[in-house]
Structure 1
Amino acid sequence: MPTSLHIALVTETWRPEINGVAMTLGRLTDGLRHLGHRFTLVRPRQHAADIPAAEANLREVLVAGCPIPGYRGLHFGLPAKARLLNAWREDRPDVIQVATEGPLGGSAIAAARQLNIPVVSEFHTNFHAYSRHYGCGWLEGLVTMHLRRLHNKSAVTLAPTFAVARELTAAGYRAVRVVSRGVDTALFNPQRRSMALRARWEVSEEQLVVTYIGRLAAEKNLPLVTQAFAAIRQRQPDARLLFVGDGPMRPHLERSDASYIFAGMRRGDDLAAHYASADLFLFPSLTETFGNVTLEALASGLGVLAYDCAAANELIRDGDNGRVVPGNHDDAFIAAALELARNPAMLTTLRERAQASVRHLDWGHISKQLADILHATVRSHHWQQHPDLMFRFSLD
């Protein structure tokens, strides 16, 4: 078996695009390349000037794409089976890693099956749940069926949490394994707190800054953020609400309250400073498979309040390093936010414990975990194709 794998990664999104999937894939790919593996990256062309990158242990194959409705500047990949068959016959991968489940991912699985290359697929996004928030709830059953059928054509489906893995298994997904998410604690940490940045927001050190960081879109349940903040502001009139990110709901939010602070999209050190310079992070989304922002907020030393699902379910010990409330209990979410705002001592305790609670989740460990699963998938496929070798090996 090869110790260094050639991995074909198929994804709709890739850096410098700002979203959890692109960030996660970039980190994991960097980690695997550091371990000596090489990649062929297959992704849709995002704009006319988009050209394949040339990096160590990574080459790109760009395919045709179409704009994704509601996601400005992001394209999904069109089917490209013939293109992939030619590329993979010329430079055959050991394993195909399908990160997104659109037409491109489906055609990649079809090509891999024709070439007899093992496939690992990833479950990153609750597309079936998203359909409810975009007026397409009637599609939920069809989307659910499509996702299950697609993932069950792969040897392994990767889930980001044990809770998601249990849900997928109960829904009929086969061979589900968990690969969690990591965080760069050198980037996201409380030392990034900036008094100059807070001064730009026109807040003092004593004022409470409540924040939501992420995509400003319907599926993120943002009305609950503004409702919880309204309850806080009734008791603390000088509290401020900070939105970091962009999306289709931004114009509505801007019109709804002139006092809200909108920082837009932020990256790198700038993003880390925005996290650490706030105080209380509200995350009421119920559509996440993980929610990288929860992990980044904890690493940044924020008081985090979220529903008890996705990353929060596995990372937050309620009342110890953050707060969680049962999903869809809006009143409980608002009450918990108000309690944290009214009790500075409790908020301080949670913030002091938050960073230490996720310090072990470094990307190097997560990348090694994924590498082990890919190696095991290649070995299993090899033995299935050559049972005579398995028999001779067992005799030896």
Structure 2
Amino acid sequence: MRVAIVTESFLPQVNGVTGSVLKVCEHLLSEGHRVLVVAPGPGPSRHELPGGASVPVVRVASAPLLGYAEQRLAVPGPRLAQALRGFRPDVVHLAAPAVLGAQAATLAQRTGVPAVAVYQTDLPGYARRYGWRGASEAVWRWLRRVHEMAARTLAPSRPVCAELVGRGFPDVSRWPRGVDVERFHPQFRDDALRARVAPRGELVVGYVGRLAREKELDLLKSVHALPGVRLVVAGDGPQRAHLQRVLPRAEFLGMVHGRELSHVFASLDVFVHTGRHETFCQTAQEALASGVPVVAPAAGGLLDIVDPGVNGTFFTPGDARGLADVVAGLSQDPGARRELAGRARASVAGRDWASVGRDLVENYRAVVPA
């Protein structure tokens, strides 16, 4: 098939949407499909993938998001229509459609090309979190209109599917995210890294991801204060300077990629995620594949990933004291922590990207006319 992937985010921006789009490209090309990516600029017009394959990228005009300059929003214009007309796709894949995705959904509907819309970002939740009064319901109405133009909506977790159905989104199916179980593996545990960040043998508790307000990272202050705990933060974003002020003893690693990221995950004793607005949470799944138990808020897509008492545990969303109590309990009970760690990797068995990619192609085939 000829698949046009229209995404609200792509390299050089690094986030969950970009990561899943890259994995989708890899799978489609490996199976012999043709792929075109359309994304906000600036950025290169071709991306090299592992194994020597590459995908063309059409860049459209964009502007920085107010209050978050690192995130760019597409500016609607003629370039998207020109790209789709020249590529002649069999299906249009809308990755986290909002602005550029809305334009693509409209064009696909007008030309009779089926679109599959992947709901991936909790924009209404972000609107509430950032204090845009009254905006949350308006965002929901807008997203429903966009998804109504698609032949199928794919959501990453059961809680998100249920919410979308409850809000009137049509034809919703679950499509989870895969995890690279070779790249994320307990074998990458790095004793030298652990000795550097926790020279006194402290419990190494880590967060990996964007450093932005919607992630509720101020909750980490309660973990940072625990005796015998060393907090490690990997990632970057607009809140980094603030977090470095309020978490002065934490180890900030900045952006890490490739094998270094594998070592960071596998070298943790506990992975903590703080934000309640995750539609899935890929980093939690990568921690589990690395043999690391996960502590997370009981909300959103994390409900599909964390199995309390099996591979991790929950705390009440927004409850800093509750988060600290859970981490302190794991610190004081190494036996329980080892049991969770021992079951973590098995809990993501069968979630490889090849299986997830095959499911995606089946969703394409279901909406493409025979």
| TM superposition score category, shorter chain reference | over 0.9
For 1:306, which of 296, 303, 314 is the aligned residue? 296
Contact 2:119 2:156 (C-alpha < 8 Å) held by counterparts: yes
Instruction: In structure 1, give the amino acid aligned to 2:298.
Output: D
Distance 1:52 1:228 in 2: 42
After superposing the two structures, state which structure 1 stretch, 215-224 or 10-19, moved more. Answer: 10-19
Alignment of 1:17-96 (within 5 A): 17-46=13-42, 50-53=44-47, 56=53, 58-80=55-77, 82-96=78-92
Q: Which residue of the partner structure matches residue 359 of structure 1?
A: 349
TM-score by length of 1: 0.88
Q: Deviations over 1:27-68 (max 9, x none)?
A: 122112111111111112125xx3344774732222111112
Question: Does structure 2 retain, via aligned residues, the 8 Å contact 1:77–1:104?
Answer: yes
Q: Which residue of 2 aligns with 1:228?
A: 223
Instruction: Report the TM-score, using the length of structure 2 for normalisation.
Output: 0.93
Find the aligned partners of 1:150 and 1:75 in 2 and give their Cα distance: 19
Q: CA 1:312–1:54 in structure 2 vs 1: closer, same or farther (change >3 Å)?
A: closer
Aligned-partner residue type, residue 184 of structure 1:
D
1:296 aligned to 2:292? no
In the alignment, the residues of structure 1 paired with residue 212 and residue 95 of structure 2 have an alpha-carbon distance, to the nearest angstrom, of 22
Q: CA deviation at 1:272?
A: 1.2
Counterpart in the other structure of 1:388: none
Shift in Å at residue 264 of structure 1?
Answer: 0.6
> SS at the partner of 1:101?
coil
Percent identity between the two aligned chains: 35
Q: Is the 8 A contact 2:8 2:99 kept in 1?
A: no
SS at match of 1:93: coil
Equivalence for 1:285: 275
Deviations 1:6-36 (A, max 9, x none): 0111012223432111111111221121111
The question of whether the paired residues in 2 share the 8 Å contact of 1:292 and 1:311 is answered with no
Give the CA RMSD over aligned residues: 1.9
1:373 deviation in Å? 0.3
Deviation at 1:308, TM superposition (A): 2.3
Q: Mapping of 1:1-396 within 5 angstroms?
A: 5-46=1-42, 50-53=44-47, 56=53, 58-80=55-77, 82-204=78-200, 206-230=201-225, 232-233=226-227, 236=228, 239-379=229-369
One-letter amino acid matched to 2:72? H
Question: How far did 1:103 drift?
Answer: 2.2
State the shift of 1:121 in Å.
0.8
Question: 3-state DSSP class of the match of 1:137?
Answer: coil
Asked if the contact 1:210/1:229 (under 8 Å) is kept, the reply is no
Count of residues paired in the alignment:
367
Q: Which 5+ residue runs of structure 1 have no aligned equivalent?
A: 383-396
User: Secondary structure at 1:181's aligned position in 2?
Assistant: coil
- Whole-Å separation in 2 of the counterparts to 1:328 and 1:260: 20
Structure 2 residue ranges without an equivalent (≥5): none
1:220 and 1:312 map into 2 onto residues whose CA distance is 13
Question: Equivalents in 1 of 2:320, 2:233: separation in Å?
Answer: 20
